[in-house]
């Protein structure tokens, strides 16, 4: 079977809820992936930052295989010998007292929202079922009905109402708008420190600090969705740390497993995360020993290979190189660490055709928000590999 055979099968039998590039990947290693025709590509998406540690990292692979031979799923009806160690290691790494594991990012977001509502009723004293959450325009927090209820992207929500109430949307990167939207019933403000799916939108310096201060002064929880920006991607463990901010609740996912397995979690201190009581929340697979073992190895790789530091250093280099490209199509190059967006001018004809041209050159990147090409390679990328990519990106950005 060749590329076209696989594509035909997928189109015939699968729901068409994605518009992938026409490359059929068969195996991968580090920053490189290989398609069924044997062609090699550099992965500049990293599965939306889930493979920060690089594809099929041997240490995580080993942890997966060892654990898979022992026990994979106990459910939380019983305890297992991996989850307690993951809790402890997460706490030591992040400085939060507790965590709660789930599987997908969206589930962790839902968990954070439930927790903030409970906190509002039990601690803040908001009248029951009146809690409000403030979120930002252009957000991406996942695909469940509650989460798309406060999306501002018509494609994500228009055919899927009725919507979950209790959310107030304000413009992103505008701290005053948050302050104005706060009422006595506000439980939390939830935002992404950098909007990834929204087009790699980096808020002005000081925004996160101001939001944290506003939340504190108004007795409102600050929830940072670091599912894409967290775990080293932007050059620090969490993107909030660029402004010295410590949110009340941090949501992580994606790279928490290095791409091997869906593992997500929320992090918070005891006065908040200690509020859940048995039976109020759960997941059959959440905190399973296989996922926990994989996450422990993924975090160890992050630490041992100093991936956040690498992202800071190589991200700066990558942005410098991209900024030096003179192209008639580029409006702006921006980002933090190795989360980089190249915004094209409106007349460039959309980012998709550039991503397709990059594919022909051996680089897999994905457009986000029509006009932005995102470059987010695995954090294990080497300087020479960036040089290799930049030469090809330069060529593509100079096509007619």
Ligand X SMILES: *Cc1c(COP(=O)(O)O)cnc(C)c1O
Interface with ligand X by CB under 6 A: which residues?
Answer: 48, 104-106, 109, 140-142, 192, 196-197, 225, 227-228, 253
How far apart, in Å, are the Cα atoms of 398 and each of 243, 325, 331, 344, 354? 36, 9, 13, 12, 10
Q: Strands, E, within 32-137: which ranges?
A: 32-35, 40-43, 98-102, 132-136
Q: How far apart are CA 108 and CA 93, in angstroms?
A: 19
Q: Which is closer to ligand X, CB of 201 or CB of 397?
A: 201
Residue with tokens 């079977």: 1
Collapsed DSSP state (helix, strand, coil) of residue 26:
strand
User: Is 164 within 8 Å of 113 (Cβ atoms)?
Assistant: no
Q: How far is the CB of 253 from ligand X (least distance, A)?
A: 5
Contact yes or no for 266/100 (Cβ under 8 A) = yes
Which CB sits closer to ligand X, 141 or 369?
Answer: 141
Cα dihedral across residues 208, 172, 44, 12: positive or negative? positive
Coil/strand/helix, residue 364? strand
Could you give the CA distance from residue 329 to residue 207 in angstroms, rounded to a whole number? 29
Q: Is 254 a catalytic residue?
A: yes
* Least CB distance to ligand X at residue 138 (A): 11
Choosing from 140, 285, 354, 375, the catalytic residue is 140
**What is residue 278's three-state secondary structure?**
coil
To ligand X, the closest distance from the beta carbon of 5 in angstroms equals 28
Catalytic residue among 225, 336, 366, 375: 225
CB of 376 to ligand X, least distance (A): 11
Per the annotation, the verdict on 225 as an active-site residue is: yes
Smallest gap from Cβ 264 to ligand X, in A, equals 6
Q: Which of 180, 190, 163, 177 is nearest to 108 (CA)?
A: 190
Which lies closer to ligand X via its Cβ, residue 197 or residue 305?
A: 197
Contacts of 281 (CB under 8 A, 6+ apart): 100, 111, 114
Six-digit token string for 287? 């905190």
Between 225 and 248, CB nearer to ligand X: 225
Closer residue to ligand X (CB): 339 or 351? 339
Q: Closer CB to ligand X, residue 207 or residue 390? A: 207
**Closer Cβ to ligand X, 228 or 288, answer by number:** 228
The whole-angstrom distance between residue 259's C-alpha and the CA centroid of its chain comes to 12
Q: How far apart are CA 226 and CA 240, in angstroms?
A: 8
Could you tell me which of 94, 83, 88 has the C-alpha nearest to residue 302? Answer: 94
* Residue nearest ligand X by beta-carbon distance: 105
306 is catalytic: no
Euclidean distance between CA atoms 137 and 191, whole angstroms: 9
One of 118, 210, 236, 254 is an active-site residue; which one? 254
Give least dist CB 190 to ligand X, A. 10
- The distance of closest approach from Cβ of residue 237 to ligand X in the complex, given in angstroms and rounded to an integer, is 16
Catalytic residues: 140, 225, 254
């Amino acid at each position: 079977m060749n590329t076209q055979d696989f594509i035909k099968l997928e189109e015939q039998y699968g729901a068409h809820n994605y518009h992938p590039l026409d490359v059929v990947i068969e195996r991968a290693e580090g920053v490189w992936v290989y398609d069924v025709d044997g062609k090699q590509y550099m992965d500049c998406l990293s599965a939306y930052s889930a493979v920060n540690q690089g594809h099929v990292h041997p240490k995580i692979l080993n942890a997966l295989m060892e654990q898979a031979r022992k026990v994979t799923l106990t459910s939380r009806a019983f305890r297992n010998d991996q989850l307690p160690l993951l809790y402890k290691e997460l706490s030591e790494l992040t400085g939060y007292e507790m965590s709660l594991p789930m599987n997908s990012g969206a589930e962790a977001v839902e968990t954070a929202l439930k927790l903030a509502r409970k906190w509002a009723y039990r601690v803040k004293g908001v009248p029951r079922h009146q809690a409000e959450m403030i979120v930002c325009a252009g957000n991406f927090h996942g695909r469940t009905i509650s989460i798309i209820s406060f999306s501002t992207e018509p494609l994500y929500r228009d055919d899927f109402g009725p919507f979950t109430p209790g959310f107030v949307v304000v413009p992103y990167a505008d701290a005053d708008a948050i302050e104005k939207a706060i009422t006595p019933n506000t439980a939390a403000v939830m935002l992404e420190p950098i909007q990834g799916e929204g087009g790699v939108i980096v808020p002005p310096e000081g925004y996160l600090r101001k939001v944290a201060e506003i939340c504190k002064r108004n007795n409102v929880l600050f929830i940072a969705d670091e599912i894409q920006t967290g775990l080293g991607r932007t050059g620090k463990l969490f993107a909030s740390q660029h402004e010295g901010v410590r949110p009340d609740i941090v949501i992580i996912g994606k790279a928490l497993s290095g791409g091997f397995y869906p593992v997500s979690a929320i992090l918070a201190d005891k006065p908040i995360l200690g509020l859940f009581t048995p039976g109020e929340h759960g997941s059959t697979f959440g905190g399973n020993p296989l996922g926990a073992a994989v996450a422990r190895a993924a975090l160890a790789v992050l630490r041992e290979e100093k991936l956040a530091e690498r992202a800071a250093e190589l991200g700066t280099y990558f942005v410098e190189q991209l900024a030096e490209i003179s192209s008639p199509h580029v409006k702006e190059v921006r980002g933090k660490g190795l989360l980089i967006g190249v915004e094209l001018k409106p007349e460039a004809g959309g980012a998709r055709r550039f991503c397709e041209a990059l594919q022909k050159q051996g680089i897999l990147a994905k457009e986000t928000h029509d006009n932005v090409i995102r470059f987010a390679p695995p954090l294990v990328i080497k300087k020479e590999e960036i040089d290799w990519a930049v030469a090809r990106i330069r060529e593509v950005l100079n096509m007619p």
